[in-house]
Chains A and B, each alone.
Chain A
């Protein structure tokens, strides 16, 4: 069946540090992959997406590359800001799976000034 595994948080970084949040997946078909961000007290917002192998999604300085060979979609940012503090969710959409929409458990990021 489908699944998404994210690194456990919280992740605490200083401002301008490099960020990596790991995400690996299991899917029966060819899923689309997404990263969502959730700020305190709000719903989720799409951060970036990739729909096929080797696609790179990017937005607001964040990037993630769809790696089929390692079944991974790691989120990276070169220089984090305090305003990036939030919870980040990796997700997949796979029409051939029993559970078609799967979210990871979320990784909380805290950036210190």
Chain B
């Protein structure tokens, strides 16, 4: 039981390059999330998927796209990377979206640097 896994762990991109961050969970959770963590700003929600087949924008969606590939997998794509997207990215999952079921389990993170 690996919980939430993310790949890659580290990535360096040049401005304008594209890449996809992968996330998978093996806990049969319905809901999945992508956050970015920046110094002094806590975690900010980029996108979330309440259930398989649905996705919704969070607080900072610009410059990103997501795909809920199936119940286990939720990917985050940067189409044209910018230095402002240098950050640590966390994927998380939960049983459900609201209330006590919203206890979220986090992956280990992807550290992305855009030069």
Query: Which residue numbers of A lie inside 8 Å of B, CB to CB?
Result: 4, 32, 34, 36, 41-46, 49, 51, 89, 91, 93, 95, 99-101, 103-106
Q: Is the CB of B108 within 8 A of A43?
A: yes
Interface of A is mostly: strand
B24 contacts A by Cβ under 8 Å: no
- Count contacts between A and B, CB distance < 8 Å: 60
Whether A99 touches B58, Cβ cut-off 8 Å, given contacts A49-B103, A105-B40, is yes
8 more A-B contacts (CB under 8 A) besides A41-B108, A42-B109, A99-B58?
A: A32-B100, A34-B104, A43-B106, A44-B92, A49-B103, A100-B45, A101-B102, A105-B41
Instruction: Say yes or no: is B76 at the interface (Cβ < 8 Å to chain A).
Output: no
**Are B108 and A49 touching (Cβ within 8 A)?**
no
Asked whether B4 is an interface residue with its Cβ less than 8 Å from the other chain, the reply is yes
